[in-house]
Structure 1
Amino acid sequence: MLDNIFNLGLYNPSTAVLCLGAIISVTWLLPFLYDILFSPLRNVPGPIWTRFTNLWEFYILLKGNSHEEYIHLHERYVRVGPNRYSVIEPRDVKMVYDFGGAFLKSEYYDGQGTANIFSTRDNEDHKDRRRKIASLYTMTAMVGYEDAVDRMTALCIEKMRHFATVKHLISVPDFMQYYAFDVIGEITFDQNFGMMENMGDTQGIIKEIHATNGTMAHLGLLPELQSPYGLWLKIFGGAAGRLNTYIWSQYWKHRNANSGAKMKSQYDTFLRKILSMEAAHKVDQKHVLDGCGSNIGAGSDTTGITLSAALYYLYSNPDKLANLRREIDTLADEGLISNPVTYGQAKDMPYLNAVIKETLRMHPAVGTILARVVPKGGVTLASGYYFPEGTRVGTNAWPLHYSKDVYGTDAEKYRPERWLEEATQPDFRDSMMFAFGGGSRTCIGKNISLLEITKVLPQIVRNFDLRFEQEKEPWSNYCAWFVYPRYKCWVESRKDQDVERVA
């Protein structure tokens, strides 16, 4: 074939150069010239490389500190790729994540490999999936799991007493994720994962979830690789294999043992409720993964990360720790809270709730843009720029939560008191809290996470001191999809009070 081409004179070096030049012009040069000369977004600032490649954002992602880069970026820039823009102006955020859902999720989410309640880009599909299981996630439903949370919290405190006795240095983020996993296992399947007891990832699920989330974060920026990756998954199996296998093993074990509403357990677990709904033909098997899978795949990371951040900020700010302990001790002395604290009591503890809000503000679990597609007809955002149809826009919680326009000139400081003060108008503090996303796609498991954090944090604070391994730079963070804290502490019994009073 090649001989024929050469013999016919269809090939020569000049022709090859011309063809290559034509390909470059069509695929890169012409779009670049349009962008800098004619595009309505040509004046949107951003690093020069972002005008013609996603590799700039991919590079900061590989460095592991993209969440911090976004904060610095928003001091000047908003363009992060040829067709990706980051917005943090409150009016823009409200428009993009409006509950009407006009801005669909972008192809970024296809990097997860499989469609579920989180990754599906079809709003009607998402609406149907969410509607079917939403009743399982109300805070009223969550309070029904307090006994399960209390059992796991008691185990957490028991383990921490052991760490204090043997003077064992621990990775607090790892242990907090073990706690979150065990709670999720307990309320979802009536069986914890044994991670706290064994101090490890007993099922190998944590490693696979981290791999899945990391892959989505990277492939989301290189959509041309998503199809080959999807094919690879079909052939060799996905990173979520162990998680799905575990969920289905629990599903069939409980379903075969005693189906539907007759199934016995200590209380109505998620799985029992879903089986009852399935028996009544209200849901099908995909909702099993939507509920049980989302609990484990996303809920454990969000909770573990937030607890780790809360403990870091409290124990590295002694005055804030003292304020929280004062609230706990005073209420305990007055008989207004029990041991353990109930959710009903905790939700009325002003400083505790301010601590949780400030932690979610300072360290939102997700560290990247939640990308959306500009709908037909395009939109003009508050910046004054017109964004044509098909443009990818989105908000990253980190620069939004560190915005001085929203949270004041001290937005970079950990100060729970800001949530107890009156704010100047307009007050965007609550509406711009983006730790669980925004609009109709707000994390369905938000209440699970808040229940756990609200209940376990007072128990740790009232019983233990944490001493950081490194005093000067006690922690670091790594970001791909989630922003994982890293630090180690020695656990010590609380020194500044009679521990027996709170034991």
Structure 2
Amino acid sequence: MDSDNANVTSETHEDSISPVRAFISIALVSIEQWWAVLLPLLITARLAYKRYASPLRSYPGPFWASCSRVWKVKSTFLGRTNWDHVELHKKYGPIVRIAPDEVSFSSPQVARHVLAAGKRFTKTDFYWVFPPPENPDIFTEIRSEVNTPFWLLILTVWQHAMKKKVANVPYSMAAMRQLSPFIDDTVEFFMSRLESYCPASDTPGFKQAGVDTKPQTVDLGKWLHYFAFDVLGEVAFGRSFGFLAAGFDKEDAIKTIDNSQRYNGVVGQIPEFDYLLRRNPLLKLIPALDPSNYLITRIAKEEMNKRRPFEVEREGKGANSDGREDLLASLIKGHLKDRERFHEGDVFSVAHGAIFAGSDSTASTMQSLFWLILSTPRVYATITAETDAAVQNGTISSTGNIDWAEAQSLSYFQACLKEAMRLRPAVGLNMTRHAPSEGVDLEGHHFPGGTRLAMNGWVLHRDREIFGEDADLYRPERWLDDEENAKVMERYMFQFGGGAHICIGRNLAILEINKVCPRLLRDYEFQLVDPTRELKATATFFVIQEGLEVYISRKGPSKA
């Protein structure tokens, strides 16, 4: 009897749920049959929503940029971010939509306003991909999210300011100039390495070299890159990285940094992917992918360990064995004075970050300078005449290194340098900020809170209102024509960023360039191997340049 009741109950239960099972079964079959139609419809609907439902729908730009981040990822991956933005603004005007929630501006006035210190325009999640995530530093920290409470915003701004206050001391121009003798040593060694590429004849110049064959080809761009790295090694850690001595990229260290910058640039457009890639703990088990094994990082850690313990500040503690105080030693002093605000992790991240932030950017600027000078015969003739005249009248020394004050007296050289930084700034990616939560009015348009506001130096520096109708041309004279106009142009230069996040290493970069470039122009003659070939520039973060191949010859006393 009980068995019969159980059977009846079971049959009743099966009968009661069979419609549900039937519905699920039909639904699964339907999905299986129609997924090929439904999925594209859902994707299309989402893309259409992003394109047409956005408050940015009225702004022109590439189609794919309006509904996804595909355009930005592709542009960065191909290394064309700088030129792509220049072309976009020429085609679409001063405000261009480059992502569903992002617009790009061509106005230097807008950039100056958005980047100004004290404004509530916060960094975007692009900076999430920059290591070290556990210890954001003055180079990569994110100040806040869009809807951060005001008290927390004030706190994060204050923390950044405190870190930067400590780091600013060793990065000041006064501190950098104290390190000039050690930069000079690297300059001297650089000159000795270039000597091997000069014609064997003691007679100066190309035409008088007295040899039938062409001089050796030298990749000046690579040697400038090696020089920039070795100077940073001396300044930061009291030791050269050895690239000039080796004459090649040791352990592919430069290539590794370039690849890291490429990763940052591309994945920074879709930072969520970073958790699957570089921050994936499984990948850290592969030694080749462990950043701590890289040459620059190893040297930084070695120097940190040499100078332990940090508990007490002693005479010469943290300094190079020759008694010189390098950047790392100065940062250790800052840590000892204020351990709470500038802790040990800050010491490492600032010193280590200086190499990543300063090497490629300084090298790129020098490469641009020489290519622009040498590819413009009128400019090369003028800058050579200025240098030769300065030697003859004693404004600069005729032998040995050129000091800071001497370089500043070369007005045409300074104009050439400013013009190179204007036309080909070292950073090719956008400077992007969130609009504050209440929104912002720019160029007569209102942008809601959280809108990404992008500005690219390659675009800003080509503004005709500020820089003239010939802003696309390399013309150093624009900096000498009118002193007041030059001051206006200077206000709207963003080669080192702007506001509270202006590059802390700018003084070192400028000092370095003023040390080596006038010396090269004084002592050597240069010719481009192929004057018709463009300098190849790849912009996935910093502008990595290739192809600065030249012939080089010593100058003679008659020309100096």
1:244 deviation in Å? 2.6
Moved more, 48-57 or 251-260: 251-260
What residue number does 2:499 align with? Answer: 439
What residue number does 2:543 align with? Answer: 483
Kindly indicate whether the alpha-carbon contact (under 8 Å) linking 1:112 and 1:215 is maintained by their aligned counterparts in 2. no
What residue number does 2:345 align with? Answer: 286
Match status 1:66 vs 2:81: yes
What residue number does 1:198 align with? Answer: 246
Kindly indicate whether the alpha-carbon contact (under 8 Å) linking 1:378 and 1:389 is maintained by their aligned counterparts in 2. yes
Distance verdict in 2 for CA 1:47–1:345, change over 3 Å = same
Per-residue deviation, residues 236-272 of structure 1 (Å, max 9, x unmatched): 1554652333211111113369965433533211122
SS at match of 1:232: coil
**1: CA distance, partners of 2:50 / 2:245:** 60
* 1:254 corresponds to which of 307, 317, 332: 307
1:27 deviation in Å? 6.8
What residue number does 2:169 align with? Answer: 135
1:423 deviation in Å? 7.2
Moved more, 244-253 or 353-362: 244-253
1:322 deviation in Å? 2.0
1:128 deviation in Å? 2.7
Match status 1:244 vs 2:297: yes
Per-residue deviation, residues 455-485 of structure 1 (Å, max 9, x unmatched): 1111111112223232321522112111112
Match runs of 1:345-384 below 5 Å: 345-382=406-443, 384=444
1:424 deviation in Å? 8.1
Match runs of 1:43-82 below 5 Å: 43-77=58-92, 78-82=96-100
Match status 1:462 vs 2:516: no
SS at match of 2:142: coil
Greater C-alpha Rg: 2
The amino acid across from 2:48 in the alignment is F
The amino acid across from 2:326 in the alignment is T
**1: CA distance, partners of 2:46 / 2:361:** 43
The amino acid across from 2:347 in the alignment is V
SS at match of 1:380: strand
Moved more, 292-301 or 38-47: 38-47
SS at match of 2:239: coil
* 2:509 corresponds to which of 445, 449, 467: 449
What residue number does 1:410 align with? Answer: 470
1:168 deviation in Å? 3.5
**2: CA distance, partners of 1:256 / 1:227:** 35
Distance verdict in 2 for CA 1:387–1:25, change over 3 Å = farther
Per-residue deviation, residues 57-95 of structure 1 (Å, max 9, x unmatched): 222223222211111111133111111211121331122
The amino acid across from 2:276 in the alignment is P
Distance verdict in 2 for CA 1:174–1:101, change over 3 Å = farther
Per-residue deviation, residues 159-183 of structure 1 (Å, max 9, x unmatched): 1111214744232221111000111
Q: How many residues align?
A: 495
Kindly indicate whether the alpha-carbon contact (under 8 Å) linking 1:117 and 1:126 is maintained by their aligned counterparts in 2. yes
Kindly indicate whether the alpha-carbon contact (under 8 Å) linking 2:527 and 2:552 is maintained by their aligned counterparts in 1. yes
Can you give the 5+ residue segments of structure 2 that lack an aligned partner in the other structure?
1-17, 144-155, 201-214
What residue number does 2:30 align with? Answer: 14
1:43 deviation in Å? 1.4
**2: CA distance, partners of 1:290 / 1:5:** 64
What residue number does 1:268 align with? Answer: 325
1:133 deviation in Å? 1.1
**2: CA distance, partners of 1:465 / 1:113:** 42
Distance verdict in 2 for CA 1:422–1:226, change over 3 Å = same
**1: CA distance, partners of 2:232 / 2:519:** 19
1:309 deviation in Å? 0.9
**2: CA distance, partners of 1:345 / 1:162:** 27
Match status 1:299 vs 2:358: yes
The amino acid across from 1:367 in the alignment is G
Distance verdict in 2 for CA 1:28–1:105, change over 3 Å = farther
With structure 2 as the length reference, what TM-score do the two structures score? Answer: 0.82
What residue number does 1:99 align with? Answer: 117
SS at match of 1:108: helix
Can you give the 5+ residue segments of structure 1 that lack an aligned partner in the other structure?
none
Kindly indicate whether the alpha-carbon contact (under 8 Å) linking 1:71 and 1:398 is maintained by their aligned counterparts in 2. yes
1:156 deviation in Å? 1.1
The amino acid across from 1:252 in the alignment is N
Moved more, 82-91 or 164-173: 164-173
Distance verdict in 2 for CA 1:406–1:16, change over 3 Å = farther
The amino acid across from 1:195 in the alignment is F
* 1:118 corresponds to which of 126, 139, 142: 139
* 1:312 corresponds to which of 351, 365, 371: 371
**2: CA distance, partners of 1:233 / 1:432:** 43
**2: CA distance, partners of 1:5 / 1:160:** 86
The amino acid across from 2:358 in the alignment is G
Per-residue deviation, residues 432-471 of structure 1 (Å, max 9, x unmatched): 2111111111111000000000111111111122232323
Kindly indicate whether the alpha-carbon contact (under 8 Å) linking 1:45 and 1:76 is maintained by their aligned counterparts in 2. no
Distance verdict in 2 for CA 1:208–1:43, change over 3 Å = same
Match runs of 1:418-433 below 5 Å: 418-422=478-482, 428-433=488-493
The amino acid across from 1:403 in the alignment is D
**1: CA distance, partners of 2:106 / 2:293:** 36
Kindly indicate whether the alpha-carbon contact (under 8 Å) linking 1:40 and 1:385 is maintained by their aligned counterparts in 2. no
Percent of pairs with identical residues: 25
Distance verdict in 2 for CA 1:117–1:238, change over 3 Å = farther
What residue number does 2:9 align with? Answer: none
Per-residue deviation, residues 339-393 of structure 1 (Å, max 9, x unmatched): 42111222232112111101101111111111111111111111x2211111111
SS at match of 2:98: strand
Kindly indicate whether the alpha-carbon contact (under 8 Å) linking 2:291 and 2:297 is maintained by their aligned counterparts in 1. no
**2: CA distance, partners of 1:90 / 1:210:** 28
Distance verdict in 2 for CA 1:144–1:227, change over 3 Å = same
With structure 1 as the length reference, what TM-score do the two structures score? Answer: 0.90
The amino acid across from 2:139 in the alignment is F
Distance verdict in 2 for CA 1:6–1:415, change over 3 Å = farther
1:49 deviation in Å? 1.3
Distance verdict in 2 for CA 1:371–1:260, change over 3 Å = farther
**1: CA distance, partners of 2:19 / 2:330:** 68
Kindly indicate whether the alpha-carbon contact (under 8 Å) linking 1:209 and 1:240 is maintained by their aligned counterparts in 2. no
SS at match of 2:176: helix
1:404 deviation in Å? 1.8
Provide the alpha-carbon RMSD of the alignment. 2.8
1:197 deviation in Å? 1.2
SS at match of 1:466: strand
Match status 1:159 vs 2:177: no
Per-residue deviation, residues 259-306 of structure 1 (Å, max 9, x unmatched): 654335332111222223334445321222333112211111111111
Distance verdict in 2 for CA 1:415–1:235, change over 3 Å = same
Per-residue deviation, residues 212-244 of structure 1 (Å, max 9, x unmatched): 111010011123312222432674155465233
**1: CA distance, partners of 2:279 / 2:518:** 47
